[in-house]
């Protein structure tokens, strides 16, 4: 959690913990929640990560932190918009190729954000535009 908040502050974001909840406000425009997905070893030797969301929080974005096999350090991170959340989500090892492609696209968008090439509107507006474009491509 400290690493995530520190990264946001380093990027110039104003961070505020919302009293009475587990939500974090970013620049007064976007709310985020952070969930930790611990690694579980299956009998066949593969790994699984189960994410559980508090859907009553209704953050704009949930940052899911997937832990390594020893559950000692973060393996990677997922940004999940509110629209994608269900009561739970399982991440399987075999989905890694899809996740890698998503990670590459997210890294590209982070580079755009760092360079100041940001879209107009709020975070919620940007999420809506992204989903509208993605839906049109299907």
Mean pLDDT of the chain: 78
Model pTM greater than 0.85?
no
pLDDT at 87: 46
* Beta-sheet strand order (sheet of 88-92): 39-41, 47-52, 88-92
Residue 96 has pLDDT above 70, yes or no: no
Range of the domain at 68: 2-137
Name the percent of the chain in helix, strand, coil, to the closest 5. 35, 30, 35
Of 89 and 46, more confident: 46
**Is residue 90 over pLDDT 70?**
no
pLDDT band of 43, cuts 50, 70, 90: very high
φ, ψ of residue 80 in degrees (nearest 5): -120, 115
Residue 95 pLDDT grade (very low, low, confident, very high; cuts 50, 70, 90): low
Residues above pLDDT 90, as percent of the chain:
9
pLDDT over 70 at 2, yes or no: yes
Greater confidence (36 vs 20) lies with 36
Q: Is the pLDDT of residue 93 over 60?
A: no
Number of structural domains the chain divides into: 1
């Amino acid at each position: 959690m400290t690493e995530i908040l520190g990264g946001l502050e380093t990027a110039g974001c104003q961070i505020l913990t919302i009293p009475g909840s587990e939500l974090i406000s970013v620049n007064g425009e976007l709310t985020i929640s952070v969930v930790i997905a611990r690694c579980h070893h299956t009998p066949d030797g593969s790994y699984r990560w189960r994410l559980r969301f508090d859907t009553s929080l209704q953050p704009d974005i949930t940052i899911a932190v997937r832990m390594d096999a020893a559950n000692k350090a973060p393996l990677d991170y997922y940004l999940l918009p509110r629209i994608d959340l269900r009561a739970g989500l399982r991440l399987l090892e075999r989905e890694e190729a899809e996740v890698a492609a998503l990670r590459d696209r997210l890294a590209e968008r982070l580079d755009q954000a760092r360079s100041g090439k940001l879209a107009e509107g709020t975070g919620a507006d940007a999420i809506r535009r992204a989903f509208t474009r993605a839906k049109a491509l299907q």
